[in-house]
Amino acid sequence: MILLLKLIQERFDIMTNIDASVLQPSELKNLMTGKTRLIGLDVGERRVGISVSDTAWSIASPVEVWDMKQQPLQHFKKILDVYNLQWRQPIVGFVVGLPLSLYGEIGPQAEKVQKFCDRVLKPLGYPIAYWDERMSTHGAGRALTEADMSRKQKSEVIDKMAAVFILQGVLDFLKMMSNHE
C-alpha cells in the first residue's frame, strides 16, 4: 500500500509548478484544521462543475454548475463568499481536475484549466491542488446511466458529478495516506 501511495505521489509531481499557491494533493492535509471545507472543480470549455467536501473531509457533494457564458468570471469571488456564509465553515482550498493526456502529460486542455486557475482562482488567495481527472466525466456519466437518468437529466448534472468524482478522489487519497502514517 505504501508503494501505491508513492507511485500516486510521483504521478502528481508533474502537476505542480514552483508557485506557492499550487500544492501537491498530499499537502492538502496541512489545511485540515478545525471544521473546514474543500471545493472541487471540473473546469470545462463552457461550464464549471462545483462540489464541496464535508467538514470531516470524508464526503464530496455536488453543489452546482457554473455556466461561464452566462455568469462572468468576476462573479466567482461573490459565489465563494455566499458559500462561506451558507456553510458557516471556511473554504480552505480548491481541488481542480486536470485533464492529462493518456500518457500523463499536460496537453492543450490541461493548459486551459491551468490558465483558468491563474486567471480566476489564484487571485482569490486560496491554495490549489490539481488532480488527474481523465476518467471523472466518464465515471460520472456511467454512474448517472446506472441511476437510470435520461440524457437530458444527465446533461444537467454531469459537470457537478464530475467535480464530485474529482474531489472524492482526493478525499479518499488523503484518508488512505493518513491510514498509513
Higher per-residue pLDDT: 31 or 73: 31
Q: pTM score, two decimals?
A: 0.80
- Determine the Cα angle at 136 with ends 132 and 139, to 5°: 140
CA atoms within 13 A on the CB side of 38: 32
Strand pairing category for 47-53 and 128-132: unpaired
Domains and CATH numbers, the chain: 2-179 (3.30.420.140)
Per-residue pLDDT tens over the stretch 27-43 = 999 998 888 999 999 99
Q: Grid coordinates standing for 145?
A: 446511466
Q: Are 98 and 131 in contact (CB under 8 A)?
A: yes
Per-residue pLDDT tens over the stretch 155-175 = 667 788 899 999 999 999 999
User: For residue 153, what pLDDT band results from cuts at 50, 70 and 90?
Assistant: low
Q: Give the integer Cα–Cα distance in Å for 76 and 72.
A: 8
User: For residue 107, what pLDDT band results from cuts at 50, 70 and 90?
Assistant: very high
Segment among 65-79, 85-99, 130-144 with least mean pLDDT? 130-144
